[in-house]
Amino acid sequence: MVAGIVASQGQAIELRQPDEPGLGAVEARWEGHGVPFVRRGAAWVAVVGVDLDAKPGTHIAERTLRYDDGRSRDASETVTVTAKQFPTTKLTVEDRYVELSAEDAARASRETQETDAIYATLTDESYWTEPFVAPIEGAKDGRNFGHRRVFNGQPRAPHSGADLRADVGTPVYAANRGRVVLAKDLFFSGNAVFIDHGLGLYTIYLHLSKIEVTPGAIVERGQRLGLAGATGRVTGPHLHWGVRIAEARVDPFSLLKLEAAPEPTPVAARP
Ligand SMILES: [Zn+2]
């Protein structure tokens, strides 16, 4: 095994495998998930994520190379996860989003099950081939990714996406080609759109004032999904943009940086 990738908590990473004659399929195993590689030009590529709460230290990304003649070969590379400092943010929202009524609690719990089931589904094909783009025109970064949050004095789950500045009515665009798998009002998220890009990668767009797509539709990169707003548990208008990769919560802007990824590092064969 060689010194492989160094990545911080909450970062999307690209695994690469040079193509070779007779290589028919490559599959990665990362943090308990199997993720297929796809051929992109002269290399095979898989996108995985380091969850924002991943343990700092050495993790192993394993892969199996399958050849057309039936042979297979295992290899692995190390991913050194570095800790990131996530600040704590104190927020004040309407009381009903912190002290939930029995009805709202039941609804929120049902919706969490529904969205967790989406994230746990791995569609075995890639709907996208081009680089990901930000969902708001000109957005270069977002705020609050990974922040530990205290709502009205009560600790809640860390912030799993990035918040982009957007007034009510600002157009929100698909970060890449994919299939709409959810488009409706959720208790905490307000008007929400979830896109399945395939291979376990999802982008989500929350707190919209208007949804303009329907579940099942294929959307193109840059296609309008709706308008930014301030629905659900918010302190004001903005776009919450989230990315999940095989259930890992990653900073969406780290996905945009993958295009600048260095050349593949050699991967050691396992005896
Ligand atoms: Zn947010």
From ligand 1's centre to the CA of 143, what distance in Å? 8
Give 86 Cα–ligand 1 centroid separation in angstroms: 14
Ligand 1 mean position, distance from CA 163 (Å): 5
Distance 53 CA to ligand 1 centre (A): 17
Phi, psi for 199 (deg, rounded to 5): 60, 30
- Dist. CA 205 → ligand 1 center (Å): 9
- What distance in angstroms lies between residue 240's CA and the mean position of ligand 1's atoms? 4
> CB-based contacts of 32: which residues, under 8 Å, 6+ apart?
none
Return the ∠ at Cα 227 (arms to 222 and 231), rounded to 5°. Answer: 135
233 C-alpha to ligand 1 centroid (Å): 9
Mean per-residue pLDDT, 127-146: 93
Residues 156, 50: Cα–Cα separation, whole Å: 21
Residue 259, pLDDT score: 66
Token pair belonging to 252? 């969406």
Nearest Cα neighbor of 132 from 264, 261, 265, 263 is: 261
Assign 40 a pLDDT band (cuts: 50, 70, 90).
confident
Residue 88 CB neighbour total at 10 angstroms: 10
CA of 74 to the centre of ligand 1 (A): 39
Closest CA to 205 of 221, 179, 234, 182: 182
Ligand 1 centroid from CA 35, angstroms: 27
231: CA distance to ligand 1 center in Å?
A: 11
pLDDT > 70 fraction of the chain, expressed in percent and rounded: 94
Does residue 266 register a pLDDT over 70?
A: no
* Ligand 1 centroid to residue 64 C-alpha, Å: 37
Q: Output the CA 250–ligand 1 centroid distance in Å.
A: 13
Cα of 20 to ligand 1 centre, how many Å? 43
Q: What is the mean pLDDT of the chain?
A: 92
Q: How far is the CA of 266 from the centre of ligand 1 (A)?
A: 38
2 — pLDDT class (breaks 50, 70, 90): low
**Predicted structure pTM score:** 0.92
Distance 134 CA to ligand 1 centre (A): 15
Give the distance (Å) from ligand 1 centre to CA of residue 229. 12
Q: Does residue 1 have a pLDDT over 90?
A: no
At 70-95, the pLDDT tens digits run: 999 999 999 999 999 898 989 898 99
